[in-house]
Amino acid sequence: MNLDLQARTEPGARLVELAEKHATDAAYGAEERDRTATFPVEVLAAMQASGFLAGCVPAELGGSGVQSVHDVAVAVNRLARADPSTAIAAIMHLAPPFSLARAWREAVAGGDPEHVAGVERFLTMFGSGRAIVCLAFTEPGTTLLHPQTEAVPDGEGFRLTGRKAFATNSAVAGVVGVSAKLVLPDPEAGPVFSAFFVRRDSEGLTIRDDWDAMGMRASGSNTMVLDGCFVPAANHVPLGPWGRWGPSLLSLTLAASFPLMAAFLGIAEAARGVAVETARTRRKQPTGEPVGHLHGVQRLVAEMDVELAAARGALDRAGVAIDDYYASVPPSEETLDDLHALMAHHQCANLVVKRAAMAVVDAAMTVSGGAGYMSANPLSRLYRDVRAGPFMQPYSPVEAYEYIGRVALGLDPHPEA
């Protein structure tokens, strides 16, 4: 019986099938890339060539037309079993086209040719595989809703100044999605939370080769500095008031962040596989029997399976809920109340999955004994990679409980804003 998460749609199933093929390439050399903090350039190039990275682009524009965030998560899950760094690199590229495609479909259905053309520029670029995209929304010392990077109008565009951290894919990205605080000339107008698509070769954009972390070492999540970087007006996407959730920003964040938890489920599944193989094959003296004959080891394996069952169930249910909402409500009709309810549900699943992932990897290390502590053992890498989960935005465990509780009680999720 196959208890793995499964795609719910035909395009999603094809994306998962491609992910499983690319996982074979991702696994090869993963240990060396981790050791040297080297980005999986060849693996991402193969994903471009196969059309995997265009999975969320509409079929009419050269992609596979995947419309299920659940299925994107399943594909990311398969990649993460082989190499978590490759998995999070893939989702950072897949996320922007997913939300852009929803806006494009609504514009097409509503007969809005200007909006169609504006969105289509980026979707055709992603669909053709000409550029890998990087999302640069994280900054040190602030929250996702309060970027300190500033954008000011300048002629036919804007000038961006600021510093970004954890910019996954920046090692190879041709286009960077940057969040910023847009300051308007009108003193009575409040700042606008904005996203800008910035070309890698833009003057004033510097990507530092400084990614040196405990885990996810091959993700190319470098620091990015913008020093008066000019961005054309056509590359600006306003997402609501700065410091507050707007429907567009919350919907985009939900779609982008949901598949990330599937990467940590994949880490746990990979660790469980290593532990079970160890328990079956490693023999202990003086009996010479496999260590799996020990009751303590049997208990640990059972605990891993309990955690994985809960994690799969939570992730699967949350993904279905998001898909059902996106399928029934076009972007222009999404409401903050609905989206906060979905985000709170996502955060519940996120806590379940990431707690389970850390517990499973920890149990796998215990089963392995001293062997898992050695750098050559894959558990050593998985143990470090799984620790990246808790601090990933939009909510760390420190913040998630308050957010979930306030949404459940009908309170303003961000009273400090």
**Shared domain check, 281 and 182:** no
**Shared domain check, 125 and 102:** yes
**Shared domain check, 301 and 229:** no
**What pLDDT shows up at residue 392?**
83
362 within some domain = yes
Q: Which of 128, 2, 69, 120 is nearest to 259 (CA)?
A: 69
The secondary structure of residue 6, as a DSSP letter, is -
**Shared domain check, 279 and 192:** no
Per-10-residue mean pLDDT of the chain, 417 residues long, equals: 92 97 95 95 94 94 95 98 96 92 94 88 79 90 94 96 95 93 85 94 95 95 97 93 94 96 98 96 89 94 98 98 97 96 97 97 95 92 95 86 95 77
**Shared domain check, 274 and 386:** yes
Q: What is the total count of domains within the chain?
A: 3
112 within some domain = yes
**What pLDDT shows up at residue 188?**
78
**Shared domain check, 252 and 233:** no
d(CA 32, CA 38): 8
**What pLDDT shows up at residue 190?**
87
Residue 403, classed as helix, strand or coil, is helix
214's tokens: 């405990």
Q: pTM for this one?
A: 0.95
d(CA 330, CA 336): 13
Domain containing 169 equals 150-241
